[in-house]
Structure 1
Amino acid sequence: MLFYLFTGGDNRRVYLGTRSVRSGWIWRRIAGWGVHLAARTHSPIRVRQSPARCDRAAPRASMRLCEGLYFLILWVQLSHPLHLVSASRLPFSPPTDCRAETLNQISHRAVGSPLVMDHRSICRKTRRLIGKQAEICRKEPEIVHEVIKGAKLGTGECQFQFKERRWNCSTADKFFGRILNQDIRETAFVYAVTSAGVTFAVTQSCSMGELLQCGCDYQMKGESPDGSWEWGGCGDDIDFGYTKSREFMDAQTRHRSDIRTLLTLHNNEAGRLAVKNFMRTECKCHGLSGSCAVKTCWKKMPIFREVGVRLKERFNGAFQVMGSNNGKYLIPVGDTIKAPTAEDLVYTNESPNFCKRNRKTGSQGTKGRACNATSMGIGGCDLLCCGRGYKERQVVVEENCKCRFHWCCVVKCSKCTAVKTVHECL
């Protein structure tokens, strides 16, 4: 590739030479030279480029060669008070054939599971995707949108279930990432509830008609054994949601063989089964004047709050495991402990106590957390404050009061102030 950088005034010309560009630092150097010379001469910058062709062996380098300098010149024009040439008058533009070929190869990236680390990072250009994950990002962006919704749903449920514990599933700062780098039971719950959230969100969108790839589940047909009702209505297509969750959540780790991979895959599956194995039957009557002449039933997913409660129970009874000699299986720690089932959560390391702030373990501590002074449970001040004690203060809050129903159909309330006592850990 041959570039000439011309500056007006004294007609100085800088010859940049011919060489193979393999990294971004050369482009930064080119931009620096161009801005420096233009600033000294206050003259237009014009760029000429020799014809370029796509390099199939090095798509990343070809993309930079085709487009790098073009966009750098545009950036210089927008951000520096120089009299630069208009973008439309630049003597070259990025070859479209290079753009099409290289974008297909390098534009679909993502960070690994769990998605709760950053919902916006799904399919971002930060890490190469593999297998079904890349295919979903490229061909089914609407599925990715539901994956994001499911990840947020899982995060919210995690924070609800752990709101009274020392570790409250806070995703602030970098502490959450420290938690996920440890094979503890809190990490197991995060993976499980996130996977369950993705399964739930995708399946729900199918039933709502928001996805073209799926719809209602009509596989259940016929009547009940006693003939009192028959299958009908719009059942939730749990198999589709389960499959998409499995393809996306497990893609980054499925072909590895370390113990952390085994833990991740097991806990992801436990989350999906917490939705799939607890489908409920919902029915509706049809007939004149409210009679139940015909009764149709269909399969619906459980309420997600029930899924969170079920996974929290699995968290309390999680199994500590270790890897087998060949590294392909998980076995429980202790000879008298039964092997975990597919619905159980598993971990390898004991959790820290989360009493004090510790960046290494991801603990934010409990200082300043609100506690219940009259409770003897996990949310009580004695346990939550780790024996450090607590302080009491009065706060003024505004609440809805004197609410009345007005026909039809509005509830109107007044605003009242109240003084409440709040207890906080020292």
Structure 2
Amino acid sequence: MLPSSRTQLGLFFILLCPANIIGLWWAVGSPLVMDPNSICRKTKRLAGKQAELCQLEPEIVQEVAKGTKLGVRECQYQFRFRRWNCTSHSKYFGKILQQDIRETAFVYAITAAGVSHAITQACSMGELLQCGCELTRSRAPPSPTAGPGTEGTAWEWGGCGDDVQFGYEKSQQFMDAKNKKGKNDIRALIDLHNNEAGRLAVRSYMRTECKCHGLSGSCTLRTCWRKMPHFREVGDRLLERFNGAFKVMGGNDGKTLIPVGDNIKPPDKQDLIYSADSPDFCSANRKTGSLGTRGRVCNSTAMDTSGCDLLCCGRGHRDETVVLEENCLCRFHWCCVVQCRKCSVRQELSLCI
């Protein structure tokens, strides 16, 4: 029996870990293994398109690893002020992945987005033989921007546009579980949906960049190309979807997902979905994967999720003075060294109790 999509993702993260932590769910605390041979040695634990990609295109797998790490970093940035902060603690993170909660939906989406983004970027940088710049021969010319000085300007596609479709397809090929059993499982359906939402957060928001050409700064010809959004924009957009995520349940046919509640519109392809309520993450609980918020730094004056009232779950906080060393009095010496002194800085912190 082939493993489910959730198991395959877990195995994928295992294969990316250094040898001393093989078997752990997540490897953020240590550098991800970028050598595709180290990952592909264990292809027997993968299935279908994943194993095929690992065997035939190991350089793609190297970019998959980079994209996964990119997604992890962005997850930790976006959740840095929340009770669950996308912790890298492996024993607890495995419990998070086993649940169909909103946090897991974000992890799947940002990881799939990271893989798509990394592969596409590698194509544009000429680091992969299978792809390069986006082909633009059959595309209509870009619309001229309204404004002075644009009348009579010639337009054409050029430069090196990002081939986001290639990155999208490779991310889909590796991150999605392609097995018949998974298609009738609500957990697999949810994971596949969130993977797609992550990839669309990259593909659907391509922007057009242009460069003017002409004598004396004139713009007689404008060359344009398409670029991916910055990954921070992708993370911001997926966080908005996380805040408005849809709770769903499986339909009677086992192939559809139905929103829970009355008069709720069905989620679209870019929405994040989940089927179980999240724990409050206030106290440490190995069963749910919560590390708790005791000892977390909070903002005593903020009213948002970083504020001590919310982050500390009403338990209160204590103020503590710490002494940190920072670079100061930096000077540039020709050529090309920057020399700094070390200065001690006292900082007041608020910590959850």
**TM-score where L is the length of structure 1:** 0.70
Please report how far the alpha carbon of residue 291 of structure 1 lies from its aligned counterpart in structure 2 after TM superposition. 3.7
Correspondence 1:112 to 2:112: no
Is residue 175–residue 359 contact of structure 1 (8 Å, CA) maintained in 2? yes
Considering only CA atoms, is the larger Rg found in Structure 1 or Structure 2? Answer: 1
* CA distance in 1: counterparts of 2:229 and 2:98, whole angstroms: 31
Q: For residue 100 of structure 1, what is the aligned residue in structure 2?
A: none
Name the stretch that deviates more: 190-199 or 216-225. 216-225
Amino acid of the structure 2 residue aligned with 1:224:
P
Amino acid of the structure 1 residue aligned with 2:308:
C
SS at match of 1:112: helix
Is residue 214–residue 240 contact of structure 1 (8 Å, CA) maintained in 2? yes
Aligned CA distance change for structure 1 residues 207 and 255 (closer, same or farther; 3 Å) = farther
Aligned counterpart for 2:283 among listed residues 356, 372, 387: 356
SS at match of 1:322: strand
SS at match of 1:137: helix
SS at match of 2:346: strand
Aligned CA distance change for structure 1 residues 373 and 349 (closer, same or farther; 3 Å) = same
Aligned pairs for 1:200-349 (under 5 A) are 200-220=117-137, 221=139, 223-226=141-144, 228=153, 229-251=155-177, 255-256=181-182, 257-349=184-276
Aligned CA distance change for structure 1 residues 230 and 406 (closer, same or farther; 3 Å) = farther
1:313-357 deviation line (CA, Å, top 9, x unaligned): 000000000000011011100121000000000000000000000
Q: For residue 25 of structure 2, what is the aligned residue in structure 1?
A: none
SS at match of 1:174: helix
Name the stretch that deviates more: 359-368 or 130-139. 130-139
* CA distance in 1: counterparts of 2:326 and 2:313, whole angstroms: 32
- Deviating above 6 A after TM superposition, structure 1's stretches of 4 or more consecutive aligned residues are none
Q: For residue 373 of structure 1, what is the aligned residue in structure 2?
A: 300
Please report how far the alpha carbon of residue 130 of structure 1 lies from its aligned counterpart in structure 2 after TM superposition. 2.3
Structure 2: gaps (5+ residues): 1-6, 23-38, 145-151
Q: For residue 143 of structure 1, what is the aligned residue in structure 2?
A: 60
* CA distance in 2: counterparts of 1:118 and 1:381, whole angstroms: 38
Amino acid of the structure 2 residue aligned with 1:401:
C
Is residue 216–residue 237 contact of structure 1 (8 Å, CA) maintained in 2? yes
Name the stretch that deviates more: 277-286 or 139-148. 277-286
Please report how far the alpha carbon of residue 285 of structure 1 lies from its aligned counterpart in structure 2 after TM superposition. 2.1
Aligned pairs for 1:151-230 (under 5 A) are 151-220=68-137, 221=139, 223-226=141-144, 228=153, 229-230=155-156
Please report how far the alpha carbon of residue 382 of structure 1 lies from its aligned counterpart in structure 2 after TM superposition. 1.0
Name the stretch that deviates more: 288-297 or 242-251. 288-297
Q: For residue 28 of structure 2, what is the aligned residue in structure 1?
A: none
Name the stretch that deviates more: 222-231 or 273-282. 222-231
Aligned CA distance change for structure 1 residues 126 and 237 (closer, same or farther; 3 Å) = closer
* CA distance in 2: counterparts of 1:391 and 1:124, whole angstroms: 50
Please report how far the alpha carbon of residue 230 of structure 1 lies from its aligned counterpart in structure 2 after TM superposition. 1.6
* CA distance in 2: counterparts of 1:167 and 1:127, whole angstroms: 34
Is residue 119–residue 152 contact of structure 1 (8 Å, CA) maintained in 2? no
Name the stretch that deviates more: 274-283 or 389-398. 389-398
Is residue 132–residue 248 contact of structure 1 (8 Å, CA) maintained in 2? yes
1:89-121 deviation line (CA, Å, top 9, x unaligned): xxxxxxxxxxxxxxxxxxxxxx71154566237
* CA distance in 1: counterparts of 2:100 and 2:8, whole angstroms: 16
Please report how far the alpha carbon of residue 376 of structure 1 lies from its aligned counterpart in structure 2 after TM superposition. 1.4
Is residue 322–residue 346 contact of structure 2 (8 Å, CA) maintained in 1? yes
Q: For residue 400 of structure 1, what is the aligned residue in structure 2?
A: 327
Amino acid of the structure 2 residue aligned with 1:247:
Q
Is residue 116–residue 152 contact of structure 1 (8 Å, CA) maintained in 2? no
SS at match of 2:9: coil
Aligned counterpart for 1:123 among listed residues 40, 48, 71: 40
Is residue 232–residue 297 contact of structure 1 (8 Å, CA) maintained in 2? yes
* CA distance in 1: counterparts of 2:140 and 2:294, whole angstroms: 59
Q: For residue 78 of structure 1, what is the aligned residue in structure 2?
A: none
* CA distance in 1: counterparts of 2:311 and 2:349, whole angstroms: 14
* CA distance in 1: counterparts of 2:283 and 2:178, whole angstroms: 33
* CA distance in 1: counterparts of 2:323 and 2:216, whole angstroms: 52
RMSD after superposition: 2.1
1:44-95 deviation line (CA, Å, top 9, x unaligned): xxxxxxxxxxxxxxxxxxxxxxxxxxxxxxxxxxxxxxxxxxxxxxxxxxxx
Matched residue pairs, number? 317
* CA distance in 2: counterparts of 1:145 and 1:225, whole angstroms: 37
Is residue 218–residue 232 contact of structure 1 (8 Å, CA) maintained in 2? no
Is residue 235–residue 300 contact of structure 1 (8 Å, CA) maintained in 2? yes
**TM-score where L is the length of structure 2:** 0.84
* CA distance in 2: counterparts of 1:288 and 1:136, whole angstroms: 49
Is residue 123–residue 137 contact of structure 1 (8 Å, CA) maintained in 2? yes
